[in-house]
Amino acid sequence: MKDLIIIGASGFGREVAWLVERINAKEPAWNLLGFLDDDDEIQGKLINGYSVLGKTEDAGKFTDAYFVCAVGASRTREKIVNRVKEINPDIKFGTVIDPSVEISDLVTVGEGTIICAHSIITVNIEIGSHVIINLDCTVGHDAVLQDFVTLYPSVNVSGITNIGYCSELGTGMQIIQGKTVGNYSIVGAGAVVVKDIPDKCTAVGSPAKPIKFFEE
């Protein structure tokens, strides 16, 4: 088994630890060493039976381990991953996929990606690195999910869509076929995307419309 460390020990980090346990119950794959987290108050403590081994600045101490970043917010996850890459240029990232996920052999998945229980990923799909696909999502044929995308629970992504770099799709939202969500954009919970969403905005509603734009 390969050693694995989860970056982030909050709610989603604990869920990813459970995901790893589910993988190992099916076929032993990961030796989960514990968490890295920058919260001073939890250093050295046990979280759901796993130790908090240090902070992100300690990533370089574990040269043989693989890492996965379990921080839901896309921009925060991007910053953390870039920081640990600076600390340890040779860092290795694992990819963890729940055994209940239905996924075809015609899907490419990048390093550091997390796909949670009961999601369905069909055919000819490109999933980038450090993507999070949370519980009970569907992704249709020929979709592209770029690096650092986050799908919160029960998101439905139709075919031939392009979900831009570091964007977030809120719980229960839907996007119809052939549409694009821009880079660094956020689509709110329950929204329905029927027209392309531009870069760097927050969009809400049905149909989804931008309500705020931001520079960074």
Determine what percent of the chain falls in helix, strand and coil, rounding each to the nearest 5.
Answer: 20, 35, 50
Distance of alpha carbon 80 from alpha carbon 20, whole angstroms: 21
For tokens 């329950």, name the residue.
190
User: Active site includes 118?
Assistant: no
In this structure, the dihedral spanned by the alpha carbons of residues 34, 38, 43 and 47, taken in order and rounded to 10 degrees, is -40
The DSSP code for 197 is B
Spell out the residues 6+ positions from residue 36 whose beta carbon is closer than 8 angstroms to its own: 5, 6, 7, 8, 9, 52, 53, 54, 55, 56, 58, 59, 67
Tokens coding 193 = 């995307």
The two three-digit tokens of residue 154, written as one number: 């029960």
User: Which of 22, 75, 79, 141 does the annotation list as catalytic?
Assistant: 141
The tokens for 199 are: 């870069």
The token pair at 171 is 């719980």
Tokens 């989804």 appear where? 208
Instruction: Read off the tokens for 34.
Output: 């514990």
How far from chain centre, in Å, is Cα 56?
18
Residue 199 per-residue DSSP state: S
CB count in 10 Å sphere of residue 204: 17
Name the residues annotated as catalytic: 141
